[in-house]
């Protein structure tokens, strides 16, 4: 209740703040923010002191903090050394060092008090200090009197203890540098679990010294050495982030079988899978040698990964290899296993004690849920709150990932609206509800490369991070989008490339530095949603298909399309201005003309050829919109026949083709055309 | 002669090529390029083999090459492993491994033959392979049939053996990551010497284990550990780049004296210098303890830096500490040293044997030239070709840096036109001429931070690199600029940030993501040239002055201003088109309106306040230009009085103020206004 009250206070103070000065673009929003009068100036004399627990991670965090502050302001900060004297601009105090590696359930709270004479950050342990430093950076503003942070008192702690990001490095490999910069991004938005999806049909991505053919034959040479794994774990721990490894079994495991075919339920030989989908190969759950292998392998990995949790995947076993194997049939009869689901449950029941013996808690996707397994396992739900609530009722802990799949190219607000405690979960008794630990954003990498992955993760993941950190009552989408925009800029400053890569990829597609005409198209399209990309592909895509096309460059959420939609809605509601009508016209004109502007380039670039039909559709929208505006300006209804023709053309433009992108401005143009059925909207130009 | 003939061939084939397809944007231009019919396609099956010398640097270079090729094309290249079988898309052969660390005068030539069925790169040693791989990358084009390289035969070798870039890391410290990415840039344009200016009044930047107070007291904690130095040297060697350290003495040495005041010619104590300029402190050349210290120190550094050359600076000793020291006067009389120049020569003559005893060849700036020193020393000339020629006549080797000072903010073409062999150097006999080893671009960092250094070095340094590598006869500025533009894009792909940082800095100045109005101003201004920034400063700048202003973001060479100038020239010469006249008008209108567009932001950002007078000047230019166009369109001469007023206002706009930027479009606007004195130019709109 206190949280909710503070939140209201926070929202009120934000409203006041918006009038007085630039808004505080905090994300995730702290649980309590009280704004006071005044500012603390940032100048070259800025200094930091640390008292309390001695933890080298705090020293490192302060060094990173100062680097970032320098980068944000361009101000030379001379006080590089962190003093232990309390006389400093920012005085940090941690009561205790946090655990050597972060652990589930550690206290992550902090208090940040800023006045015009100095700032105090205090926390029970290191983790709160890390979070508080990020909040401080988010408060830095460029004011009329120079760079400064507003006077404010913040008490903050997370709503959920498990706030994760899963990255699939199997379908496309992601080098260590990509992982590290995404860990930087995670720290900035207070996510605390990096779930590393390390093996799948398309690749086995970790060096095993016990079973070296796993990476030697199963990875195309694209894997992490154990030294690199340790480096990433250390890097994450410095940022308060746990690393949970996932080795998917018994399905999604073709890459294991290339080197070790005897693990599979059919003889082989096996090749690394290049296609996408659910495939037949699965481990043989009836052979003791399978468990002997897993025992040694899990032992090796349990030693490499310090986190208490070990993810065994367990999803999407189609059972075909089991069905086709007579010996497995005999085994199932013998053990009274009625079907493949029971056979997989048998597998899990044999793997769980192995995981446990190596000191780890087993976790897996929805499919592993089975009443015979001990209650301390964790279920990660790709199915939804219902299956999560069900697990909680049975006494199992769970995480939500349904609704947080970033590769489906949904707008941020759709993820933002997904709450782990909604639906059936909202009806749980408190003692059951507390088993819902949080959630994880997931990026599956069929159509995601090391190049464009940042643009698939960011900035949308920041909205999910807020959902998992901030009070449940915070649901204003406009506020979220405004703060997401500022967050996106800050993430780019941290070294993430989600914005920079857009222009780079457009330049490559255009084969030219002159990307303006291509950008006209790219700005208002999005990759097709959900799993539509598969069905629109001309030839079956594989892991070797280049990801260098318009669909790979286009942003999952087009803010220019959003902006145009709003302009049109305002115009049709009579709330437009002459400027906004001029802007609508100018955009429609650019769209109308884009095929002509692109033609010269298209003759020279193979990648532009598939863009031309999209440009032609966009051009049709431009023409329809301009004609509609003419009718509306003249305050005369358009002929029904014209409208019918236009609406048909708009529908056609809205339907994605082989370029696999969706034009996002068809709906507002359709509204303009539909508005011509009656005379005159309240357009300022027509008044 | 053969070179010249091949060059002509190359230029001819380039002309033919320009008609047939996208031009080859090679930079530096190879000494011989013969274009043939056809293309070699780049697809996922692309493979590389290496035969001949076994050198792990070639393996590493190929891995980097494949990474870059992937990045350039977005194509998944599966053949990660370099085979030794000759059946590969690109077959590389090196006769020998190059030296463990690159050395002056090693053969850097290579031959690259590309047909539609494959490519062959052969070289006498590793260095040629490195250069040839870069040339291959520059040939990659996005064609109508996909990514490809044209069929071509290239024979290439450098004109000069010493092609350097000096970076001053003293006035502002540059972290290792900044150095590394600039080494990547150097490799891309075939520069082969990184001259590291490591000590100066404002900082001592290397860890000494023998004299640890050098870095402990002389660096604000901003120095390279010896491990980092070794890492950079290794990184450079992998890219065929030598690393020459410079420790400036006996002047420019205040930072040494903070820890070791007994080295100075006055008692001290000393503080790290925060101001810019020439200062009094200088080593005491009359004390044996000075040479004992230098012997130990140079011994330590000679061991750390493997290159044969050791730079002792030697520039700008003002002699005031020597003049003020009676003991030094006595010493000079005793040793018959007439003046401070002779005293410095005495110092150099004592240091040179020390350097030599530690196995190194001494080099220094112009001032060290003295007939008593052995002929194997190298003179780096900041004074010009004349002093270089003079040194060569006396038997000394030399390098040109005059004309290559990047911090003076000159356009690329000005550097491009500076040839080490021009002026008096062109009259040298061949045996003397060969002592001119090449040149070095230099970036002094008074107004250059780790943040904006890339934008000060790139892309202009690529033009200097071409001057030092390519045949002397290559002088076409238009061709250079066209290729520089493509090179700039490629450098950004490599990880340099010269383009990306521009928008980042504008966003910070604007305090907003809406940088369009600020960009209108920033696009057409340049930092003031030469050393004018000092004289325009309101308060004395120091190393703590933030470099976060418009002048720090503005590019040293405004291509938009260049473009506008050309539009106006064409228009006034009667070669304009209706489109180009519309573009002129549109730009003038943006300029006219920019103060209004900026006003809202200016109220919120301290950094924008100094921009407003610049915007107001630019607005005046916009108004003058638009009015001039009106007169010209109407084919009537403007009143003399109007013209006089406008020209006065233009002159005022052209004069830099406290913002320390120069508006680069005053001249073309002035031409427009001057053209109104007669009736009607041959404007298409007026025809």
The 10s digit of each residue's pLDDT in B547-561 is 999 999 999 999 999
* Predicted confidence (pLDDT) per residue in A647-666, tens digit: 999 999 999 999 999 999 99
Burial class of residue B117, CB neighbours in 10 A (0-12, 13-18, 19+): exposed
The answer to which of A212-216, A551-555, B41-45, B434-438 has the lowest mean pLDDT is B41-45
CA A368, CA A353: separation in Å to the nearest integer? 14
User: b/e per residue, A338-372, with b = 16+ CB within 10 A?
Assistant: eebeebbbbbbeebbebbeeeebbbbbbbbbbbee
Tokens of B145: 């049939």
* CATH 3.40.50.720 at B162-489, yes or no: no
Residue B601, pLDDT above cutoff 90 = no
Whether A121 and A90 have beta carbons less than 8 Å apart is answered as yes
By CB neighbour count within 10 A (0-12 exposed, 13-18 middle, 19+ buried), where does A273 fall? buried
**Which of B76, B504, B507 has its CB closest to that of A544?**
B76
CATH number listed for the domain at residues A162-475: 3.20.20.80
With an 8 Å Cβ cutoff, are B76 and A489 in contact?
no
Q: How confident is the model at residue A427 (pLDDT cuts 50, 70, 90)?
A: very high
A383: which DSSP letter? Answer: S
Average pLDDT (B248-259) is 98
Contacts of B145 in chain A (CB under 8 A): 606
Residues of B in contact with A507 (CB under 8 A): 489
> What pLDDT is stored for residue A2 in this prediction?
39
Does A492 sit within 8 Å of B605, measured CB to CB? no
- Residue range B511-517: mean pLDDT, rounded: 88
Distances (CA, A) of A393 to A254, A337, A356, A388, B203: 35, 26, 23, 9, 65
Q: For position A514, what pLDDT does the model report?
A: 86
The alpha-helical segments, DSSP class H, found in B458-577 are 460-469, 477-493, 500-510, 516-522, 532-536, 550-553, 559-572
What pLDDT sits at residue A82?
A: 67
* A73–B548 C-beta distance less than 8 A: yes
Residue count (chain A): 687
What letter does residue B609 receive in the DSSP assignment?
T
CA-nearest residue of chain A to B482?
A: A513
- Counting one residue from chain A and one from chain B, the pairs whose CB atoms sit within 8 A come to 116
Q: What is the mean pLDDT of residues B446-459?
A: 97
Count of C-beta atoms within a 10 Å radius of residue A412: 20
Q: What's the average model confidence in pLDDT over B228-251?
A: 98
Is pLDDT of A358 > 90? yes
Query: In this predicted model, which residue has the larger pLDDT, A493 or A456?
Result: A456
Residue closest to A258 by CA, chosen among A204, A205, A198, A317: A204
User: Residue A419 CA to chain centroid, in angstroms?
Assistant: 15
Where do you find CATH 3.20.20.80 in chain A? 162-475
What would the mean pLDDT of B468-496 be, rounded to a whole number? 95
The Cα–Cα gap between B481 and A568 comes to 43
For residues A166-190, give the mean pLDDT: 98
Determine the pLDDT at residue A113: 98
Q: Give the rounded percent of residues in chain A with a pLDDT score beyond 70.
A: 94
Q: Out of A145, A486, A547, whose CB is closest to B74?
A: A547
- The residue whose two tokens read 């009106």 is B630
Residues in chain B: 687
Structure tokens at A687: 């008044």
Of chain A, the percentage scoring pLDDT greater than 90 comes to 87
Chain A closest CA to B98's CA: distance in Å? 28
Beta partners for A309?
Answer: A361
In terms of CA atoms, which chain A residue is nearest residue B42?
A: A546
Q: Which residue of B has its CA nearest to A503?
A: B500
10 Å Cβ neighbour count for A532?
A: 15
**What whole-number distance in Å separates Cα of residue B349 and Cα of residue B355?**
10
Q: Which of A73-87, B370-384, B492-506 has the lowest mean pLDDT?
A: A73-87
User: What is the average per-residue pLDDT within A597-607?
Assistant: 88
Catalytic residue among B34, B113, B216, B316: B316
User: How far apart (Å, rounded) are the C-alpha atoms in residues B4 and B470?
Assistant: 10
pLDDT of residue B80: 59
What is the C-alpha separation between B495 and B504, in angstroms, rounded? 15
Q: How far is A544 from chain B (nearest CA, A)?
A: 6
* Res B16 pLDDT > 50: no
pLDDT mean over B619-632: 97
* CB B543 within 8 Å of CB B171: yes
% chain B with pLDDT above 90: 87
Give contacts of B73 with chain A, Cβ < 8 Å: 508, 546, 548
* Cβ pair A125, A95 in contact under 8 A: yes
Integer CA distances (angstroms), A74 to A70, A554, B370, B518, in order: 5, 31, 44, 18
A88-116: b (≥16 Cβ within 10 Å) or e: bbbbbbbeebbeebbebebbbbbbbbbee
Cite the residue boundaries of each domain of chain A with CATH code 3.30.379.10.
2-156
The pLDDT of B383-392, averaged and rounded, is 92
Start-to-end CA distance of chain A, whole Å, equals: 52
Number of helices (H), then strands (E), belonging to chain B: the values are: 26, 18
Query: Tell me, what's the pLDDT at A603?
Result: 83
Higher pLDDT, A178 or B86: A178
pLDDT at B538: 84
Distance of CA A116 to the CA centre of its chain: 36
DSSP A326: H
Residue A684 is given by DSSP the state: T
Q: Tell me the pLDDT band of B602, cut-offs 50, 70 and 90.
A: confident
A 10 A CB-CB count for A542 gives 14
Cα(A560)–Cα(A618) distance, integer angstroms: 14
Q: How far is CA B562 from CA A37, A217, B666, in A?
A: 48, 56, 11
From the list A316, A417, A562, A583, the catalytic residue is A316
Structural contact between residues B454 and B502, judged by C-beta atoms closer than 8 angstroms: no
Residue A537 backbone zone (phi > 0: left; psi -120 to 50: alpha; other: beta): beta
Task: Report which secondary-structure segment, H or E, holds B49.
Answer: strand B48-52
CATH number of B2-156: 3.30.379.10
pLDDT of B5 > 80? The answer is no
- Angle at B299 (CA atoms; ends B294, B300), nearest 5 degrees: 105
Residues 6+ apart with CB under 8 A from A419: A467, A472
Q: Decide if B316 is catalytic.
A: yes
The string of DSSP letters for B610-679 reads THHHHHHHHHHHHHHHHHHHHHHHTT-PPPHHHHHHHHHHHHHHHS--TT-EEETTHHHHHHHHHHTTSS
Across the interface, whether the CB atoms of B489 and A508 are under 8 A apart is answered no
Q: Quick check: A76 and B544 CB within 8 A?
A: yes
Q: Would you call A320 exposed, middle or buried from its count of C-beta atoms within 10 A (0-12, 13-18, 19+)?
A: middle
pLDDT grade, residue B3 (50/70/90)? very low
The tally of CA atoms less than 13 A away on the side-chain side of residue A54 is 2
Which has more confidence, A85 or B467? B467
| ipTM exceeding cut-off 0.85 for this assembly | no
Q: Classify residue B221 as left (phi > 0), alpha (psi -120 to 50) or beta.
A: left
Please report which confidence band the pLDDT of residue A144 belongs to, taking 50, 70 and 90 as the band edges.
Answer: confident
Are B179 and B232 spatial neighbours (Cβ–Cβ below 8 Å)?
yes
Interface contact A504-B511, CB threshold 8 A: no
Give residue A13's pLDDT band: very low, low, confident or very high (50, 70, 90): very low
Q: Which residues, in sequence order, are CB contacts of B640 under 8 Å at separation 6+?
A: B677
Does pLDDT of A517 surpass 50?
A: yes
b/e map A469-480, b = 16+ CB within 10 Å: bbbeebeeeebb
If you search the block for the tokens 């692309």, which residue do you land on?
B46
Residues of CATH 3.20.20.80 domain(s) within chain B? 162-489
Query: Which pLDDT score is estimated for B465?
Result: 98
pLDDT recorded at residue B183: 98
Reported as a pLDDT band with limits 50, 70 and 90, residue B81 is low
- DSSP result, A418-442: --TTSGGGGGS-HHHHTTEEEEEEE
| Residue B330, pLDDT score | 97
Option in A143, A489, A547 nearest B604 (CB): A143
A6 confidence band (pLDDT: 50, 70, 90): very low
Q: Which two tokens stand for residue B422?
A: 């021009």
Q: Which residues of A touch B147 (CB under 8 A)?
A: 606
Q: pLDDT tens for residues B280-332?
A: 999 999 999 999 999 999 999 999 999 999 999 999 999 999 999 999 999 99
Q: In this structure, are residues B601 and B607 in contact, taking their beta carbons and an 8 Å threshold?
A: no
The reported pLDDT for the residue numbered B511 is 86
Instruction: Give A522-561 pLDDT, tens digit per residue.
Output: 999 999 999 999 888 888 999 999 999 999 999 999 999 9
Which of B220, B489, B547 faces A513 most closely, judged by CB atoms?
Answer: B489
Region of residue A395 (left: phi > 0; alpha: psi -120 to 50; beta: else):
left
Average pLDDT, whole number, for chain A? 93
Lowest mean pLDDT among A617-621, B11-15, B159-163, B174-178: B11-15
Closest alpha carbon to A441 in A403, A485, A408? A403
The confidence band for B9, taking pLDDT boundaries of 50, 70 and 90, is very low
Mean pLDDT of A140-167: 95
pLDDT of residue B514: 86
Flag if B78 and A547 touch (Cβ within 8 Å).
no
Question: Torsions phi, psi of B114, nearest 5?
Answer: -120, 125
Contacts of A286 (CB under 8 A, 6+ apart): A327, A328, A331, A332
Taking residues A336-355, report their average pLDDT: 97
Mean pLDDT of A224-240: 98
In A88-182, the DSSP E strands lie at 90-96, 110-115, 118-125, 141-143, 146-156, 162-168
User: Nearest CA to CA, how far is A604 from chain B (Å)?
Assistant: 5
Burial track B330-354 (b if 16+ CB lie within 10 A, e otherwise): ebbeeeebeebeebbbbbbeebbeb
Q: Averaged over A251-273, what is the pLDDT?
A: 97
């Amino acid at each position: 209740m206190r949280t909710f009250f503070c939140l209201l206070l926070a929202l009120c103070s934000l409203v006041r703040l918006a009038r007085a000065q630039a808004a505080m673009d905090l994300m995730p929003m702290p649980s309590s923010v009280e704004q006071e009068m005044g500012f603390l100036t940032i100048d070259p004399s800025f200094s930091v002191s640390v008292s309390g627990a001695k933890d080298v991670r705090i020293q490192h965090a302060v060094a990173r903090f100062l680097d970032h502050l320098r980068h944000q302001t361009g101000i030379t900060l001379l006080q590089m050394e962190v003093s232990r004297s309390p006389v400093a601009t920012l005085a940090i105090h941690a009561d205790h060092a946090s655990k050597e590696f972060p652990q589930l359930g550690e206290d992550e709270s902090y208090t940040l008090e800023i006045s015009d004479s100095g700032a105090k950050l205090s926390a029970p342990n290191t983790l709160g200090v890390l979070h508080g430093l990020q909040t401080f950076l988010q408060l830095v503003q460029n004011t009329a009197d120079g760079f400064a942070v507003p006077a404010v008192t913040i008490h903050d702690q997370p709503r959920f203890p498990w706030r994760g990001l899963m990255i699939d490095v199997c379908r496309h490999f992601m080098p260590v540098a990509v992982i590290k910069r995404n860990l930087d991004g995670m720290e900035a938005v207070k996510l605390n679990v990096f779930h590393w999806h390390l093996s799948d049909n398309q690749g086995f991505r970790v060096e095993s010294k016990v079973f070296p053919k796993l990476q030697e034959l199963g990875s195309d040479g694209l894997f992490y050495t154990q030294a690199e794994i340790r480096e990433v774990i250390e890097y994450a721990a410095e940022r308060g982030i746990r690393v949970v490894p996932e080795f998917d079994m018994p399905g999604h495991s073709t890459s294991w079988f290339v080197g070790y075919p005897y693990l599979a339920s059919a003889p082989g030989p096996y090749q690394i899978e290049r296609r996408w989908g659910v495939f037949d190969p699965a481990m043989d759950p009836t052979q003791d040698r399978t468990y002997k292998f897993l025992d040694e392998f899990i032992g090796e990995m349990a030693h490499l990964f310090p986190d208490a949790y070990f993810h065994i995947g367990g999803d999407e076993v189609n059972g075909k290899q089991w069905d086709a194997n007579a010996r497995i049939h005999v085994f199932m009869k013998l053990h009274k296993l009625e079907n493949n689901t029971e056979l997989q449950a048998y597998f899990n029941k044999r793997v769980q004690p192995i995981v446990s013996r190596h000191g780890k808690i087993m976790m897996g996707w929805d499919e592993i849920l089975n009443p015979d397994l001990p209650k301390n396992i964790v279920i990660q739900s790709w199915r939804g709150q219902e299956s999560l609530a069900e697990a909680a009722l049975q006494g199992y802990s769970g995480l939500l990932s349904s609704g947080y799949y970033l590769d489906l190219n949904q707008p941020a607000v759709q993820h933002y609206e997904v709450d782990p405690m909604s639906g059936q979960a909202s009806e749980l008794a408190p003692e059951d509800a507390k088993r819902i630990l949080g959630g994880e954003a997931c990026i599956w990498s069929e159509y995601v490369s090391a190049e464009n992955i940042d643009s698939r993760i960011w900035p949308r993941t920041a909205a999910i991070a807020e959902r998992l950190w901030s009070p449940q009552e915070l649901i204003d989408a406009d506020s979220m989008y405004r703060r997401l925009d500022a967050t996106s800029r800050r993430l780019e400053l941290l070294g993430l490339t989600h914005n920079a890569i857009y222009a780079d990829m457009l330049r490559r597609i255009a084969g030219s530095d002159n990307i303006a005409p291509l950008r006209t198209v790219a700005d208002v399209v999005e990759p097709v949603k959900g799993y539509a990309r598969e069905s629109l592909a001309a030839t079956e895509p594989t892991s070797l298909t280049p990801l260098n096309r318009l669909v790979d460059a286009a942003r999952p959420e087009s803010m220019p399309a959003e902006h145009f939609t709003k302009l049109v809605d305002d115009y049709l509601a009579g709330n437009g201005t002459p400027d906004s009508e001029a802007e609508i016209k100018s955009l429609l004109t650019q769209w109308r003309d884009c095929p002509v502007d692109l033609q010269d380039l298209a003759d020279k670039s193979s990648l532009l050829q598939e863009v031309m039909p999209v440009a032609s559709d966009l051009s049709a929208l431009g023409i329809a919109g301009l004609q509609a505006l003419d009718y509306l300006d003249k305050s005369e209804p358009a002929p029904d026949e014209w409208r019918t023709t236009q609406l048909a053309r708009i529908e056609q433009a809205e339907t994605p083709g082989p370029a696999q992108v969706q034009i996002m401005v068809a709906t507002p143009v359709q509204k303009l055309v539909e508005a011509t059925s009656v005379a005159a909207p309240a357009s300022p130009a027509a008044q």
